[in-house]
A and B are shown apart, each in its own frame.
Chain A
C-alpha cells in the first residue's frame, strides 16, 4: 500500500479543476507549468520507489484486492508515467506560443490536464473495468482537444474520430462483460490467476482477440488504422504532438499488459496473430510514409510503423525482445513528440505542409534544421541515439527466435523510414529559399526550445543506456513473470 501511486492521477485532475476557475490566461499557464514540474518530481519519486522496493499497489478506499479497484505501479507503468509527464510538459511549453487565444479562452489548459489524467490513469490501473473508465476520460478530453477551435476540418474529422471511438468503447464494454462471465473478476492479477487455473480454454482466446481489436483500434494497428491519418491531420501542432506521442501508445501499453499478464497461455495463436498484425502495420505504414508529400502525413504514418515494430516485438515474447519493445516504446513517444513539434514549426514558417512547395528553410533556420536532422536519424535508429538500442534489441530478439522474416521487415522498414524522413529534410530544408518563408522571430525560438529538450532526452537515453537498462530489465522481469505482479497485488 502506497499512496504515491495515486498522485500522478490526482495532481492533473486537481490542476484541471483549479484551472477552470481562472479566467486569466497567464495564471492558467503558470499553474499548469507548476503542476507539471511537481508531476515530474512525483513520477521520478515513484520510479525510484518502484526501483528499490518493487511493485507498488494501492487499494482504493481500502477495499482488499480483488474486490475493490487496485492501482498498480510496476516498472513499466512508472517509466511510462514519467515519460508522459515529461512529454506533456514540453508540449505545454510549446502550446504557449502556438495554440492561440481563441483556444486558450475555452479552457485548453484544463482539458490538457484532463488528457494527462486519462493517460496516467490507464498506465497505473490494475483493474480492467477501471482501464475502460480511464480510456473514456482520455477519449473525452481528446474529443475536446481535437475540436477546440472549431475550424471546418476539425469539426468534420472529429465526428469520424468520435464515431470510431464510440464503437471501440462499446466493444470494450462487451469484451469486459464476456471476460467477467468467464472468470468472474475484474482485477487484472486475479483474472490472470484464474485463467491459469482453467488453462486458457478457447473462449478466453476469443476474448483475447476481442481485446486485440479494442486496443488495436486505439493503437492504430493495421487493419484498424484507417481513422488515424485524417483525424490527426486536423489537429493543431501541439495537440497532434500530444496525440501522436501518447494516445496510440496507451493502446500499445494495454496490449502489452493484457498479452503478457493475462493471455499468454495460447501464444501459438494469439501472439502469432499479434506479430502478423505488427508486421502488416510496419509494411502499410512504410508505404504511407514513403508515398505522401505532406510533412504531417509522413510523420503520422511513421506512428503506424512504430506501433507495428513494438507490437511485433511484444509478440516475440522473449526477454531481449521485450526489453527492446519497452525501450523502443519510450524512444518513440519522445521522438514522435519532438518530430510533431518540429514539423509544426516548419508548417508555421513555410505556410504550407506540402513538401513540394517548401524549400531552403535551413538558410534562415539552421538550429531548426539540425534539430530536425538529429530527431530524424534518431527515428531511423542510427547510433548513438535512442532509436538504435531499441531496434538492436528487437532485431536480436527476432534472430534468437529465428523469425528471420521479422528481422528483414524491421531492418528494411528502418531504411525506408530514413528515406521518408530525409525526404522532408532534403526537400524542406535544402534548396533555394522561397519568398513566402517568414523571417526568424523570437516566438519561433521559444517554440524550438521544447523540441530541442525532447531531442536532447533522446540523445541522453542513447548515450546513457547503461544507466537506463537496469530499469528496463526490471520492467521486463515483471512482464515475463506474471506471478510477481499477481503476488504483489493479491498477497499483500
Chain B
C-alpha cells in the first residue's frame, strides 16, 4: 500500500513540476495545487497506512491509526487553500493590470518597470 502511495505521490510531484515550469500563470497555480496535494498525501503515508481503524476511540480501543498526521494535513490543507485562492486573485489582478499571463513577458527590464 505504501509503495502504491509513493508512486501516486511521485506522479503528482512530476505533474506539478511540469506544470510549474510552463509559461502561463494559471498552469503554474494548478501546479502548486498538485504539489501541495502530493505533500499532504506524503504526510498521510508517512504516518503509516492502516485499514479499518479510526484515529481515536478512547483509551481501550483495539486498534487505531496515528491521529497526528491527519491533524497536520488539516492544517496544511487550510493553509494551501488560502494561499492558492490568494494566488488566483493576484494572478487575475496582474492580468488586468499588465495585460498578460505569460511569465516570459513578466520578466521586467533594466528599469524594472
Contact = CB atoms under 8 A, between A and B. Distances in A.
Contact of A129 (B42, B75, B98, B106): B75
Given A178-B46, A233-B112, A140 B68 contact: no
Nearest to A130: B75
Interface string B75-104: 110011011001100110110011000000
Contacts of A174: 39, 42
B97 A150 contact: yes
B65 interface: no
19 contacts: A129-B72, A155-B90, A156-B94, A156-B106, A162-B90, A163-B20, A166-B32, A166-B80, A166-B87, A169-B79, A170-B80, A174-B39, A177-B43, A177-B69, A180-B68, A181-B46, A181-B47, A186-B68, A234-B112
A455 B112 CA distance: 30
A147 interface: yes
Interface in B1-42: 20, 25, 28, 32, 35-36, 38-40, 42
Interface of B: 20, 25, 28, 32, 35-36, 38-40, 42-43, 45-48, 68-69, 72, 75-76, 79-80, 82-83, 86-87, 90-91, 93-94, 97-98, 106, 108, 112-113
Given A147-B90, A234-B112, 15 more contacts: A129-B72, A132-B76, A143-B83, A153-B113, A159-B25, A159-B87, A162-B83, A162-B90, A163-B32, A173-B76, A177-B42, A177-B45, A178-B46, A181-B46, A230-B112
A405 to B, nearest CB: 36
Contacts, number: 98
B35 A159 contact: no
Interface of A: 129, 132-133, 136, 140, 143, 147, 150, 152-153, 155-160, 162-163, 166-167, 169-170, 173-174, 176-178, 180-181, 186, 230, 233-234
Contacts of A186: 68
Q: Which of B48, B69, B72 has the most CB of A within 10 A?
A: B72
Contacts of B42: 173-174, 177
A152 B98 contact: yes
Given A152-B113, A155-B93, A176-B72, A230 B32 contact: no
Given A173-B40, A177-B39, A233-B112, A159 B79 contact: no
A106 to B, nearest CB: 13
Contacts of B38: 170
B94 A155 contact: yes
Contact of B79 (A133, A147, A157, A162): A133
Nearest to A178: B46
A177 B79 CA distance: 16
A3 B76 CA distance: 27
B63 to A, nearest CB: 18
Contacts of B69: 177, 180
Contacts of A163: 20, 28, 32
Nearest to B82: A140
